[in-house]
């Protein structure tokens, strides 16, 4: 297993819509293992495929280190689809491994239903709420090319502009490996 470098704001792959996974083979299983290792090494609770340079619809989540979520087992979602989102919204501070040092209040649905494939290629459907739902929605955003700056108003986005430039220029402190300065959005 290997810790992978994390793509950060400015890397083109973070703005692409990820492609579906057709078959879960040994390569995908190895990637899943590496993604969990990479996420935990960075003290994260969610990580999408494009955050490690993989243009595939997959993410891993482990919210069990968070108080009140210890009972939720680590999960892998392949080709996820958000089926339903509650009208009830909550605002919570979010961070992102691809946006080191940035923390912003984001409004998201309190409850969701999501369909996905498991690594055993079984179709699953679960209901999630609170932080668990928020992490699923955050990682799903990555798969459709969205990031935290897309979820805030213009005023908030202007406030974070300097930090976003520092992140894309790799001029922020990072406790985990990140990609080299290379592929940026024009």
Q: List, by residue number, the catalytic residues.
A: 139
What is the dihedral angle through the alpha carbons of 147, 152, 153, 158, rounded to the nearest 10 degrees? -70
Handedness of CA 29, 31, 37, 42 (dihedral sign): negative
Residue burial 24-60, b: 16+ Cβ < 10 Å; e: rest: beeebeebbebbbbbbbebebbbbbbbbbebebbbbb
The whole-angstrom separation of Cα 100 and Cα 72 is: 26
């Amino acid at each position: 297993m290997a810790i992978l470098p994390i793509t950060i704001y400015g890397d083109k792959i973070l703005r692409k819509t990820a492609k579906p996974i057709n078959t879960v083979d040994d390569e995908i299983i190895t990637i899943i293992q590496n993604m969990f290792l990479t996420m935990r090494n960075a003290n994260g609770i969610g990580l999408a495929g494009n955050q490690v340079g993989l243009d595939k619809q997959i993410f891993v989540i482990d919210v069990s280190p968070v108080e009140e979520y210890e009972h939720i087992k680590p999960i892998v979602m392949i080709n996820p689809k958000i089926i339903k989102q509650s009208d009830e919204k909550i605002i919570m501070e979010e961070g992102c491994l691809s946006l080191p040092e940035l923390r912003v209040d984001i409004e998201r649905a309190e409850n969701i239903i999501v369909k996905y494939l498991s690594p055993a290629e079984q179709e699953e459907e679960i209901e999630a709420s609170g932080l668990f739902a928020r992490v699923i929605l955050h990682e799903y955003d990555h798969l459709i090319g969205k990031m935290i700056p897309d979820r805030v108003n213009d005023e908030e986005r202007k406030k974070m502009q300097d930090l976003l430039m520092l992140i894309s220029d790799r001029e922020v402190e990072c406790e985990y490996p990140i990609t080299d300065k290379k592929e940026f959005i024009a």
